[in-house]
Chains A and B, each alone.
Chain A
């Protein structure tokens, strides 16, 4: 059994857990006009930007001239809050690890200097901070975490896999305590990438709506502190939730598209239920991947119908608040899932009005309070057919 004892988050809907909760309770999306990302498309699209400049993020972290890029600063801020919330003062008292996730790492900085490099203008060295794992090295060092540090990069399921790995490292008695999650900053590279796939909605995304047009990109970071039963007992720690199940499977259908029957998603959910030793009727809420693309939402809906049959639990995609934060998404949605358990609340799926023609399910579109939530399933799927599901449970 693995316990969540700390959470930290920064995204378009707030720079910490309490701001995030307020936005969710007030159904206030963070998706809007693009201010910070330098792109010629800024006026034609909306995005879920973190509302701070690089300099402001550095100030928030209490740093000066750190030379950290946006990805690293987002990671550092969310990690700081997670450690604080877990009440960890001395990082060296237990075997502690840092497992992060990112899709493009330092690309937000690289892309600003690449033209100079191509034109042989020898810009400052950016290659050391470009590597996707570089932020993890810096953040772990900043907090003195050294027993195990690594980064997972499996596109949009990355943070789910980081969380899963952390749990396994504890269950295999390799670590006692591990900070797990992910980070991704918006950058021109991913923005243009998703634009070439023609799956960006120019307006607010409408996950699971019949007239959905695509996703909104977002950015952010979120981390959980996972601790072993031994540590939790010895230190009499306050437990926010348990991580009771996890599963990863591959769709093996197409490099980017999900299979119409959601085979990979189905297998990931089933594995997570097996690990948690739960039957499908025990799941009280599903925080869906729900990107808002035609392909994902239908494939995920089909997988849910196949798993849950007639009894599909209440579900929503909170990407309608944060945008799709790629490798950070599963971290952000893990924090939201835990807030859901703690506050006995199901947060709504914004902007969904019309039921999908080719599926029988419909998400929760209004805030639901006083719901007894014992088990939450959180889904995350990525390019390369990578499908992951996590189950968080009330302690």
Chain B
């Protein structure tokens, strides 16, 4: 899990071009959207593609992404739950 969280942080920084942010700056439990990293709806779409590209997971309706994308931790949990 820790590895997955670490990888996700690096991938998110790259995909969303968060050049000023380092992986250790991201609190795995902090909200990704609104507060915390301050991401928006466009970033959510970028993350949906990241999930498909890197983990083969498809989210058909952006509305479903809301719960999954709460934090890096919820994202990691979703990925590992789908892999089982």
Instruction: Tell me if chains A and B make direct contact, with any CB pair below 8 A.
Output: yes
Distance (whole angstroms) from the CB of B14 to the closest CB of chain A: 18
Q: Which residues of B contact A254 (CB under 8 A)?
A: 40-41
Q: Which residue of B lies closest to A199 (CB)?
A: B62
Q: Which residue of B lies closest to A257 (CB)?
A: B41
* Complex: A198 Cα to B45 Cα, angstroms: 8
Q: Is the CB of B45 within 8 A of A197?
A: yes
Q: Which residue of A lies closest to B65 (CB)?
A: A198
A positions within 8 Å CB-CB of B: 196-198, 254-257
The 5 closest A-B pairs by CB, nearest first: A198-B62, A257-B41, A198-B45, A196-B45, A197-B45
Distance (whole angstroms) from the CB of A284 to the closest CB of chain B: 36
* Complex: A257 Cα to B49 Cα, angstroms: 19
Q: Which residue of B lies closest to A295 (CB)?
A: B41
Chain B interface size, under 10 / 10 to 19 / 20 to 34 / 35 or more: under 10
* B:66-81 near A, CB below 8 Å: none
Supply 7 A–B pairs (Cβ within 8 Å), ascending by A: A198-B45, A198-B48, A198-B61, A198-B62, A254-B40, A254-B41, A257-B41
* Complex: A198 Cα to B41 Cα, angstroms: 11
| Contacts A196-B45, A257-B41 supplied; 10 other A-B pairs, CB < 8 Å | A196-B49, A197-B45, A198-B45, A198-B48, A198-B61, A198-B62, A254-B40, A254-B41, A255-B42, A256-B42
Q: Which residue of A lies closest to B44 (CB)?
A: A198
Interface SS, A side:
loop
* Complex: A254 Cα to B62 Cα, angstroms: 18
Q: Which residues of A contact B41 (CB under 8 A)?
A: 254, 257
* Complex: A197 Cα to B48 Cα, angstroms: 11
Distance (whole angstroms) from the CB of B33 to the closest CB of chain A: 13
Distance (whole angstroms) from the CB of B47 to the closest CB of chain A: 12
Q: Which residue of A lies closest to B61 (CB)?
A: A198
Q: Which residues of B contact A257 (CB under 8 A)?
A: 41
* Complex: A254 Cα to B40 Cα, angstroms: 9
* Complex: A257 Cα to B40 Cα, angstroms: 10
Distance (whole angstroms) from the CB of B69 to the closest CB of chain A: 14
Q: Which residues of A contact B48 (CB under 8 A)?
A: 198
* Complex: A257 Cα to B62 Cα, angstroms: 14
Distance (whole angstroms) from the CB of A8 to the closest CB of chain B: 37
Distance (whole angstroms) from the CB of B66 to the closest CB of chain A: 13
Q: Which residues of A contact B42 (CB under 8 A)?
A: 255-256
* Complex: A257 Cα to B61 Cα, angstroms: 17
* Complex: A196 Cα to B62 Cα, angstroms: 11
Q: Which residues of A contact B61 (CB under 8 A)?
A: 198
Which of B41, B48, B49, B61 is most buried by chain A, counting CB atoms within 10 A of its CB?
B41
Distance (whole angstroms) from the CB of A134 to the closest CB of chain B: 30
* B:36-66 near A, CB below 8 Å: 40-42, 45, 48-49, 61-62
Q: Which residues of A contact B49 (CB under 8 A)?
A: 196
* Complex: A196 Cα to B42 Cα, angstroms: 10
Interface residues as binary, B12-25 with A (CB distance below 8 Å gives 1, 0 otherwise): 00000000000000
Q: Which residues of A contact B40 (CB under 8 A)?
A: 254
Q: Which residue of B lies closest to A254 (CB)?
A: B40
Q: Which residues of B contact A198 (CB under 8 A)?
A: 45, 48, 61-62
Q: Which residues of A contact B62 (CB under 8 A)?
A: 198
Distance (whole angstroms) from the CB of A251 to the closest CB of chain B: 14
* Complex: A196 Cα to B43 Cα, angstroms: 12
Distance (whole angstroms) from the CB of B48 to the closest CB of chain A: 8
* Complex: A152 Cα to B62 Cα, angstroms: 32
Distance (whole angstroms) from the CB of A257 to the closest CB of chain B: 6
